[in-house]
Amino acid sequence: MLFQSIVFFCCIALSATFTLGQENTSPKQSSESLTGTWHCQFDSPFGLQTYHLHVAINDAGDATAHAEVDARDEVRKVEFVNVKVDNDSLSFAEVRQFGDQVFRIEYSGERKKKDLAITRSFGERGGQKSLATRELPKPPPKEDPAPVVEVKIDRLIKDAFKDSFLVGMAGDLPSRYSEEELKLAAEHFAAITPENCMKPERVHPAEDRWDFERTDALVQWAEKNDMTIHGHTLVWHAQTPNWFFEGRDPETVKRRMKQHIETLAGRYKGKLQSWDVVNEAINDGGNSETAKTENLRNSDWLQTLGPEFLTLAFKFARQADPDAVLYYNDYNIESGPKHASSMVLLERLVADGAPIDAVGIQGHWRSGRVPFEDIEKAITDYASLGLKVSITELDVTIRGESGGQFGRRRFRSSTPPSLNDLNAQADDYARLFAIFKKHEDVIERVTFWGLNDRRTWRWGQHPLLFDGNNNPKPAYASIVALADSDDDAAKKAPEPPKNVKIEDGGQGDYSAIVTEAPTLAGMTIYRPEDLSAFAGEKKLPVLLWGNGACANTTEEHKNFLSEIASHGFIVLGIGPLDQLQQRNETSRQRTNSSQLVAALDWIIAQDTDENSIYCGKIDTTKVAAMGMSCGGLQAIEISDDPRVTTTVVCNSGVLPSRSPMAAMPILTKEDLKKFHGPVLYIMGGPSDIAYKNAMDDFSRVDHVPIVMTNLDVGHEGTYRQPHGGEYSSVALAWLNWQLKDDKASAKMFVGDDSQLKRNPDWTIDTKNLEQ
């Protein structure tokens, strides 16, 4: 016997055969038309593989065949066995070994005019076909395009908020920006802040030297593109040359400040809408004592002019450009003692008649740690002083150290953001914009500090709305969706139908749709179309679903999942919605069980988010981790999450040793301890390649109730049958019992006369089950 162990190879279009005899290898007849080199391609869980097949037949009619195979990142050499030629057809086999496991793939080919039609099968139920040609096929599509997820933009962010506030970006445009970047900036943003070129050290490097080249260019470019300009910044402790303070004589320093402001703000009078007059005057940190004071930073300005320097700066700015909106700008002033100090300072400025109009909350935040409540309170606090508020330097970073501006410190390498990171960031941005929109009467402008994840001082932390290649990120979509959510005009605009109905919405009481959510990128949602039935006592339990082959689409399981949803469940399945209808390379991208956990976080957050359609409609205490084949392992992998109520493993089981499939979760039998609620296995009988592994799992689990069910249909299950076939009935009975406490449904499984016991097509074994 060639096979040391039976292996569960994920649900690919192929299935395994394990019966091999020694076959007679001598050909009946040879055919010259088959000799030579052929090229063909096969899909595999590892990606597209191109076979360059060489067939030779000697005078005695013995045939040999070998190939070079271009796989994802290697060229593999294959010597085929059992090569047989019969007139215009041939057959051969490929034996692959992974560790101590051996797989056999059978090929048969037949001449079809000038080509060779090849079928390959990994088991008894047919396989893949490919036409081999004498010419080289086109190269496989490029793997791994830059965006992690594709985000479609149906509304520009600046338009989505045009009735609320300006949406801007920072940068010293246009010089050194690409045409594509300039286009992006002008298209999406309504305002610009010069990131560096208007700062004292750049524009006024010496008392008698000004450099207006870049500032003039910026103003011109912004005007040409109809963008509002915000000036940044007149008086600051950083990026300010020492000559301002030379001699340290207060009168001289004051004169220099005045001249600086007069010249700069005067030059652009009427062209700039607003100015950051004083930047970052308050100390960091602080405590309950400093909270009662202004806690001013010990800058050269403070040292030479005293606390009056702020009032002076505002007065000079007002004189230089009477119509400009004048800002005090700072970071972290929304929280803690620094916020308290900012209130003390601003109250003093207002009382002293400093011509201040507005406060800039810079908004350099970190994903997962955005102080939403503080931000909202700070906005209302500042408004209570009669001041307008802008978010002037918004960025929400994703973990990792910054590589500095444009990645100059690239040695601190940048890790690409995961889908979860991007979704979490999108959620943070959406929540922020919900706050800004709520306070649109106070908020003047929200400006992102940079243009894309390359043009940011937080390079490597992926903080902005576009990635380094100018592709929009999920955050863009989530922000725009938020604007749409209560914008009447947007509501009236016809929306392209995004939702899909499978089999008329299923047979349950609640016609189901398949949909997606902008803040849950990369996942497909199956749910009742009309959610109104779930606003009261009845709520939707949650199903987390991983796919066969850990594929990035629920396509193969759509009948089954839609049927379940129609009985009043919400399913969050791995894979973007568009892959349901049109599978492409994306559907083969690797997926990860952490996507299921992130989806659970998401739906729990939706349940309490009053802007969400799911608000108050989800039973967040009832969660099933489910999946088929490779996806079943993903379900097992997340089963130790305390929020998981039950696990349903379909056509799957933990492998005895490491799988050859890179995408498969690496689990050992130890991981079965992760189960902490009742477990159901739905299997395909002995011909299911995962059967042995699943039965072995069943024999090992003693610490929770566990049910093993089998219908003799093999690894493929019944998912593709109308309404998901018999698997749907069994799964639904389990889910109704476990997640909706429906005792009647328990009859499917419990007792000697359970429905499955009485059903001759099914077998059932149970352990620790309540009787």
Q: What are the backbone dihedrals phi and psi of residue 395, each rounded to the nearest 5 degrees, phi first?
A: -155, 145
Q: Which of 17, 35, 119, 196 binds ligand XIL (CB under 6 A)?
A: 196
| Whole-angstrom Cα Rg for the chain | 33
Q: Which of 181, 393, 395, 556 binds ligand XIL (CB under 6 A)?
A: 393
| Rounded least distance, CB 422 to ligand XIL, Å | 23
DSSP codes joined into one string, 678-740? -EEEEE--TTSTTHHHHHHHHHH--SS-EEEEEESS-TTTTTTSGGGHHHHHHHHHHHHHHHH
| Rounded least distance, CB 392 to ligand XIL, Å | 8
Bond from prior residue into 416 cis (ω within 30 degrees of 0): no
Q: Which of 49, 128, 335, 405 binds ligand XIL (CB under 6 A)?
A: 405
| Rounded least distance, CB 369 to ligand XIL, Å | 18
Give me the sheet containing 706-711, strands edge to edge: 512-515, 523-528, 570-574, 540-546, 618-628, 646-650, 679-683, 706-711, 762-767
| Rounded least distance, CB 391 to ligand XIL, Å | 13
The partner residues of 570 in beta bridges, in order of sequence, read 542
DSSP codes joined into one string, 411-468? TSPPPPPPHHHHHHHHHHHHHHHHHHHHTTTTEEEEEESSSSSSSSTTTTS--SSB-T
Site mask, ligand XIL, residues 141-180, x = CB under 6 A? ----------------------------------------
Three-state DSSP class for 476?
helix
Candidate list 94, 106, 181, 393, residue with the active-site label: 393
| Rounded least distance, CB 480 to ligand XIL, Å | 25
Residue 362 or 659 having the CB closest to ligand XIL: 362
> Minimal CA–CA distance to 696: which of 654, 741, 734, 642?
654
> Minimal CA–CA distance to 365: which of 337, 395, 387, 389?
395
In angstroms, rounded to a whole number, what is the distance separating the alpha carbons of residues 116 and 127?
16
Would you state the structure tokens that stand for residue 382, as one six-digit string?
Answer: 């500042």
How many chain residues bind ligand XIL (CB under 6 A)? 7
Residue 7 or 391 having the CB closest to ligand XIL: 391
| Rounded least distance, CB 196 to ligand XIL, Å | 5
Q: Does 376 qualify as catalytic in the annotation?
A: no
| Rounded least distance, CB 393 to ligand XIL, Å | 6
Do 556 and 11 form a contact (C-beta atoms < 8 A)? Answer: yes
| Rounded least distance, CB 688 to ligand XIL, Å | 58
Residue 40 or 465 having the CB closest to ligand XIL: 465
Q: Determine what percent of the chain falls in helix, strand and coil, rounding each to the nearest 5.
A: 30, 25, 45
Q: Which of 94, 195, 395, 467 binds ligand XIL (CB under 6 A)?
A: 195
Query: What is the number of other CB atoms lying within 10 angstroms of the CB of residue 606?
Result: 22
Site mask, ligand XIL, residues 441-480, x = CB under 6 A? ----------------x-----------------------
Residue 279 or 612 having the CB closest to ligand XIL: 279
Closest-approach residue to ligand XIL (CB): 457
| Rounded least distance, CB 192 to ligand XIL, Å | 14
Contacts of 736 (CB under 8 A, 6+ apart): 567, 742, 745
DSSP codes joined into one string, 200-230? HHHH-SBTTB---HHHHHHHHHHHHTT-EEE
Q: Which of 164, 279, 299, 524 binds ligand XIL (CB under 6 A)?
A: 279
DSSP codes joined into one string, 54-92? EEEE-TT--EEEEEEEE-SS-EEEEE-EEEEEETTEEEE
Do 165 and 436 form a contact (C-beta atoms < 8 A)? Answer: yes
Contacts of 262 (CB under 8 A, 6+ apart): 316, 319, 320
Residue 116 or 361 having the CB closest to ligand XIL: 361
In angstroms, rounded to a whole number, what is the distance separating the alpha carbons of residues 708 and 168?
58
| Rounded least distance, CB 684 to ligand XIL, Å | 58
In angstroms, rounded to a whole number, what is the distance separating the alpha carbons of residues 506 and 509?
9
Site mask, ligand XIL, residues 232-271, x = CB under 6 A? ----------------------------------------
Supply the angle between the helices 725-740 and 558-565 in degrees, to the nearest 10.
Answer: 40
Would you state the structure tokens that stand for residue 559, as one six-digit string?
Answer: 């009948």
| Rounded least distance, CB 428 to ligand XIL, Å | 19
Residue 279 or 693 having the CB closest to ligand XIL: 279
527-586 positions binding ligand XIL, by CB under 6 A: none
User: Where do the DSSP E strands lie in 87-157?
Assistant: 89-98, 101-112, 115-121, 127-132
Do 395 and 456 form a contact (C-beta atoms < 8 A)? Answer: yes
Q: Are strands 75-79 and 101-112 parallel, antiparallel or unpaired?
A: unpaired
Residue 218 or 540 having the CB closest to ligand XIL: 218
| Rounded least distance, CB 14 to ligand XIL, Å | 53
350-389 positions binding ligand XIL, by CB under 6 A: 362
Residue 458 or 588 having the CB closest to ligand XIL: 458
Residue 279 or 299 having the CB closest to ligand XIL: 279
Residue 196 or 263 having the CB closest to ligand XIL: 196
Residue 304 or 329 having the CB closest to ligand XIL: 329
Do 135 and 36 form a contact (C-beta atoms < 8 A)? Answer: no
Query: What is the number of other CB atoms lying within 10 angstroms of the CB of residue 222?
Result: 23
Supply the angle between the helices 419-438 and 474-485 in degrees, to the nearest 10.
Answer: 30
Residue 362 or 738 having the CB closest to ligand XIL: 362
Q: Which residues are marked as active site? A: 393
Which residues make up the interface to ligand XIL (CB under 6 A)? 195-196, 279, 362, 393, 405, 457
